[in-house]
Structure 1
Amino acid sequence: MKINCNNSGIVTKLRFKKSLFLIILFMYHSSFLMATVRYVKQDAVGNNNGNSWFDAYTDLQDAIDVSVINDTIWVAAGTYLPKDAPDGTISTGVLDRNNAFHLHTNMKIYGGFSGTETLLSERDWTSNLTLLSGDFANNDVVTGGGAELSFMGNDENAYHVIITADLTPDALLDGFTISGGNANDLQDGYITYVFKRLYKYDGGGMYNAYSSPTITNLTFTSNSVYNTGGGMYNSPSSSPVIMNSTFISNSADFGGGAMLNSYSNSTSIVNSTFISNSAVVGGAVLNFSSSSRFIANSSFNSNYAHLNGGAIYHTPNSNLTIINSTFVSNLANSQGGGIFLSHSSIQSIINSIFILNSADSGGGIFNRNSPTIFNATFASNSANSGGAIYNEFYAHPKIYNSIFWSNFQSGSANFQGSDILNSNNSLPTVEHCITQENSIYSTGTGIINNQEPKFEDAANLNFKLKCTSPAINQGTLSGAPKEDIRAFDRAGNPDIGAYEFGESEPLIIERNIENGMNPKYVGMPSISTEWPILNTNNSIFKARNFILLKSGFSVAPTNGEATVFRAEIGNGGCP
C-alpha cells in the first residue's frame, strides 16, 4: 500500500485507527488483569462487602451474584447453606428446598482457606473443610455404603446443592465438599434457571445444565436422587472436566449413583475416586448415548448396582476410553460387576485392573460390544457366568497383553468360562494373554495358559510382577501402550498385564550395606550409591538405564570373608 505523506487527512485517519485499536487491545487485556478477588467467610464481622477477609461476605451466593466474568472468589472453611433459589424460581425463605447455589457466569471459586491467606498458594483445602450443604436441619444420618447405603433425616434437604448453567471450562470450582442434596420430588417436576428446566429428581449434589465447568479437588458425598446422578447430573451438551475429585456414598434410585452423563456430552474424569456409591444401574456412573467419555488414572471401589454395571453402565452409541484405572470390589446383582458395556460404540480399556468384582454374569465386564482391551489385569473376579468377562450378542472384543488369573465361575477357577465366557455368536480375539486352566483360550497366538503370573503380593492387591513372572516381555508391541498404569515406559516387547516389570522410581542407596544383608536390587531405572558394601554380602544391582557408583563406594571384605558384588544393565528378568 502506498501512502501520500502530504495527504494529512489519510495519515490522521490511519493514526486514529491505530490508536483506537491499541486502546481496545489494552482494555481487553486489562479486563483479565483487573479481575476482582472476593472473599467469603461465614463468621466475618466487618462490612460484609467481600473486599477482604475481615469484610468478607458471609454468604457465598452474595459473592457469586456480584461477580462478573473472570472474577475469583475465595471461601474460608465452614458450612454454607443455599439461602436463595435460582433466578426464575420463587423462594419461600432460607429453608426452601428449591434453594441452591447457582451461577451462569464464568468465574473461579476456591474453597479451603483458613481466612488469613494473601496468596492462593497458601491455601490448604484438605485441612480447611469448606462444605456446601443441602442439609438445612443438620440432621442427616447416612450409614453403610454400596449395597448397604442408607439415608435418614434428609426429607427437608435442598433438591440441589449447586446448579450451573451455560459455563465453559474457564469456570472453575475447586476445594469444596458438596453434601446433603436430595432430589426426590416428582410432583412439582422442575425449577427454572436462565430459561432452563432443572428437574427436581436429578442431580442432588450438582446439576450442570448445558454447562461445562472445570471441577477440581471436590468431594461429593451423601447426596441422593429419585432418578439419576446422585452426586452430579450432567445434562445434554454438558461436558465438565473433573479432576482430583472424590465421589463417596451417593445414591440414585435409578441410575448413576455418583454421576449421570446425559446425551451429547463429553465428560472427562481424571485422577478421581468413586467409593461406595449405589444405584439400580451404574452404581457409580451411568453414561447415556451419543457421546464420548474419557476416564483416566481413576479408581472405582465398592460401588453397587442392584441390576447392571456395579461401577459403570455404558449405554449404546457412545464412545468410552478408560486408561490407567482400577476397579476393585464392585458388585452388580445381575450383569457387569465392574462395567456393563452396551453395543454399537467405540470403547477402549488400556492399562487397567479389575479385581474382586462380582456379578451374576461378567464379574469384571459384561460386554455386548467390541471394545479393544490392552494390557489389563483381571484377578479374583467372580460370577455364575464369565468370572472375568462375559460376551454376548455378537460381541467381538479384541483382547491383547492381558492377564486372567484366579477368576471364578460358579465358585471354581478352573471351569471353562472362569476367565472368559461367550454366548450368542460372540467371537473375541484373545492374543498374547495369560489365561486360566481349562480356558476356552488355552492355545493361540502368544497365549500362556495355566502359568501363574507371579504377582508381587496379590493378597494385598499388589499386582506388580516378580522378576520370575512368565508375563515379562511376552506381549505384542503392535498397538500396545507405550507406558504402563504408572506411566512407566514399556521398553522392547511389553510385559503382559497392567504393570511393566520393575520400579518406576530410581533407587538412591543412602547407607552402608551391612554384613549379611545380601541385597538384590532389580528393575529400577537407575541405581546410585556412595556407600560401601561391607563383609559377607552377595549383592546384586540390576538397573535398566545406568548404575552410578560414586566416590565413597567400595566392596570391602576383611579377614578373608568373601563379598560378591554384581552389577548389570538390562530389562526385566531375575539377576
Structure 2
Amino acid sequence: MSRSFHPSSRMTPNQYAVIVILPLICATQVFAATYYVSESAPGMNLGTDWYEAFRDLQSALAVAVTSDSIWVAQGVYVPGASRESTFEIPPNIDLIGGIPGVPGQEGMMDVRDSFAYPTILSGDVDGNDLNPDGDFIAESTAEIQGGNAYHVVTGFNLDNQTRVIGFYITAGQANGVEADADGGGMSLSNASPILFDLRFHGNMAISDGGAIKSSNSLLLNQLVALEFVGNHAGNSGGAIHAQEGGVRVIASCFEGNGATNGGAIATTTQFTSPIYSYIQDTLFMGNRAQGEGGAFYADNIQGDIINSVFSGNRSDQNGGGIYISFNAGLTMINSTLVSNLAGESGGGLTNNGQPLSIANSIFWNNVDPDLQGTTSQILGPSDLVDSLVQGGCPGQANCGGVILETDPLFLDPDGEDGVVGTLDDNLRLSRLSP
C-alpha cells in the first residue's frame, strides 16, 4: 500500500503560488493597470499605490478592465449596505488578497501570505454578526445574525483568465428566492475562474451551494489550495454545488460542511452525457448529509479521485463518504475512506451504474446497519485491484491483484483530540502496516 499521503505532505498555498499562479500573473500584458485597495490607506483614495490606495474594494472593481490586477491589503471588506450588494468580478482580471499593504511594496508578490495578512470578504452588511473570537470570520453559519448579503462574490461569463487569490470569503446568506437561494459565498454562472488559496467559512444557502454555486459551467476549473469550513446548504452541496458541470479540486480541504445531499460537494446534471470531475490531494473530514453522500454526491460522473482522504463523514441515508447516483466512468487511485457512517447502506461508498475502478486504496472502519461488512465499505459494482478492504473483496466487486483485509495500522486515526474526521488525524501508515 502507498504510504505517500498525509495532510501535512500537501504543498502550502504559497508553494502552489510559485508553481501555478505566479507565472500566469507575470505573463499579464505590460500595459495592464494595477489597482491597490487598503481599508486603512491614508492618501487620496486614488488606487495608484499602497499610500493612495482605494479604501473600498468596489471602487477598484468599478474601474478594472481586461488584464488589470487588483491587490487588496489585509482587512475586512463588505460589498455594501444592502443584502443585494455583492463583489462582482470583472472578466479577465487578477484579484489578489493576503497582502500587508505596506507602501514601497507595490508589486511584490513574495510578501503575500493569506494567513499572516488575512483579507476578508464578508457578507455582514448590517454589521451585527457574532464574532466571539474577534477575527471577523464566521466559524459556522450560527454566527450569522440579521440579514447578510445573499452572495459575497459573484461572477458571470468568466473564463480561466480570471483569477481570485488569497481571500477569506465568509458569512454569505443566500436565503432569498430563485438565484438568491444559492451560493452564499460565491455565485458563478457560465464561469470557470481559477480560484486559489481561498477560505470559505460559515456561508449558507437555503437551496444549493452553501459556499459556491456554479451553474452552466462545463468544468468549475482549477480550485487549488482551497479550504471550506462550516458551510451549509439546505439542498445540495454544503460547500460546492456544480449544476450541469463538474469540479476540478486540488490540494484542498473540506471540514464540517453540511447539506441534504453532498455534505461537501454535489455535482448534478439533467443531461444524458456524463460530466467530468477531478479531485486530487484533498481532504474530506467530518462533513454530513441528511440524505446521501456525506462528503461527495455525484450524478452521471466521469473522472478521477486521486490521493485523497474521506474520514469521519456521515450520511443519514446512503454513502457515508461518497454517493454516486450514476457512474459513467470514475476511477479512484491511492485514496482512503475511513470511519465514515451511513444510516442506511454503503458506509464508505455507494455506487450505482458502471463499475467503479479502484486501485491501491483503503476502505476501513466504515459503518452502516450492516456494521463493518464488505458492503459497509463498498456497496455497488466495482473493479478493485491491489487495495485493502475490511472484510475482503466485496460481493459486487471484480477483484484482482492483492486484496488485503487486515488492519492498515494508521499512525493515529483519531488524532490528538480523539475525534475521527478532524484535521489532526494522522492517516499515514505505520512501518508495520501490511
Secondary structure at the residue paired with 1:32?
A: coil
**Equivalent of 2:149 in 158, 164, 168:** 158
Deviation (angstroms), 1:137:
2.7
**Equivalent of 1:249 in 211, 223, 230:** 230
Deviation (angstroms), 1:103:
2.0
* Percent of paired sites with the same residue: 31
Deviation (angstroms), 1:245:
0.8
2:12 corresponds to: none
Aligned residues: 383
1:333 corresponds to: 316
Structure ID, larger Rg: 1
Deviation (angstroms), 1:45:
2.6
Secondary structure at the residue paired with 2:368?
A: strand
Deviation (angstroms), 1:404:
1.9
Alignment deviations for residues 253-276 of structure 1 (CA, whole Å, 9 cap, x no partner)? 11100000110x342100000000
Alignment deviations for residues 265-303 of structure 1 (CA, whole Å, 9 cap, x no partner)? 342100000000000110000011341011000000000
| Residue type at the aligned position of 1:108 | D
RMSD: 2.6
- Give the whole-Å Cα distance in 2 for the aligned partners of 1:182 and 1:262: 19
Alignment of 1:489-508 (within 5 A): none
Please state if 1:102 is matched with 2:88. yes
**Equivalent of 1:286 in 260, 266, 272:** 266
**Equivalent of 2:387 in 384, 402, 406:** 402
Segments of structure 2 that go 5 or more residues without pairing to the other structure are 1-25, 133-138, 416-424
Deviation (angstroms), 1:362:
1.1
Deviation (angstroms), 1:241:
1.4
| Residue type at the aligned position of 1:51 | T
Alignment deviations for residues 419-438 of structure 1 (CA, whole Å, 9 cap, x no partner)? 6665xxxx3212234454xx
Deviation (angstroms), 1:459:
6.1
Cα pair distance change 1:390/1:31, threshold 3 Å = closer
1:182 corresponds to: 173
2:189 corresponds to: 209
- Give the whole-Å Cα distance in 1 for the aligned partners of 2:365 and 2:29: 53
Cα pair distance change 1:149/1:120, threshold 3 Å = closer
**Equivalent of 2:115 in 126, 133, 145:** 126
Deviation (angstroms), 1:113:
1.2
Please state if 1:135 is matched with 2:121. no
Cα pair distance change 1:429/1:391, threshold 3 Å = farther
The question of whether the paired residues in 1 share the 8 Å contact of 2:73 and 2:99 is answered with: yes
1:474 corresponds to: none
**Bigger mean CA deviation after superposition, 202-211 or 396-405:** 396-405
- Give the whole-Å Cα distance in 1 for the aligned partners of 2:163 and 2:237: 23
- Give the whole-Å Cα distance in 2 for the aligned partners of 1:355 and 1:112: 34
The question of whether the paired residues in 1 share the 8 Å contact of 2:37 and 2:71 is answered with: yes
- The alignment's TM-score, normalised by the length of structure 1, stands at 0.63
- Give the whole-Å Cα distance in 1 for the aligned partners of 2:43 and 2:318: 58
2:60 corresponds to: 63
Please state if 1:258 is matched with 2:239. yes
Cα pair distance change 1:468/1:50, threshold 3 Å = closer
The question of whether the paired residues in 1 share the 8 Å contact of 2:149 and 2:174 is answered with: yes
Alignment of 1:259-408 (within 5 A): 259-263=240-244, 265-289=245-269, 290-315=274-299, 317-360=300-343, 361-369=345-353, 370-385=355-370, 387=372, 390=375, 395-405=380-390
Cα pair distance change 1:459/1:309, threshold 3 Å = closer
2:214 corresponds to: 234
Cα pair distance change 1:456/1:344, threshold 3 Å = closer
Cα pair distance change 1:352/1:30, threshold 3 Å = closer
Secondary structure at the residue paired with 1:173?
A: strand
- Give the whole-Å Cα distance in 1 for the aligned partners of 2:399 and 2:336: 17
Alignment deviations for residues 325-376 of structure 1 (CA, whole Å, 9 cap, x no partner)? 0011001111111000122411111100111111121111012131101111
- Give the whole-Å Cα distance in 2 for the aligned partners of 1:142 and 1:302: 23
The question of whether the paired residues in 2 share the 8 Å contact of 1:141 and 1:153 is answered with: yes
- Give the whole-Å Cα distance in 2 for the aligned partners of 1:209 and 1:297: 27
The question of whether the paired residues in 1 share the 8 Å contact of 2:393 and 2:403 is answered with: no
Cα pair distance change 1:185/1:389, threshold 3 Å = farther
Alignment deviations for residues 365-403 of structure 1 (CA, whole Å, 9 cap, x no partner)? 0121311011111122211137376499x9431011111
Cα pair distance change 1:104/1:73, threshold 3 Å = closer
1:516 corresponds to: none
Cα pair distance change 1:174/1:281, threshold 3 Å = same
1:49 corresponds to: 46
Secondary structure at the residue paired with 2:220?
A: coil
Cα pair distance change 1:308/1:101, threshold 3 Å = same
Secondary structure at the residue paired with 2:142?
A: strand
Cα pair distance change 1:231/1:153, threshold 3 Å = closer
- Give the whole-Å Cα distance in 1 for the aligned partners of 2:399 and 2:371: 15
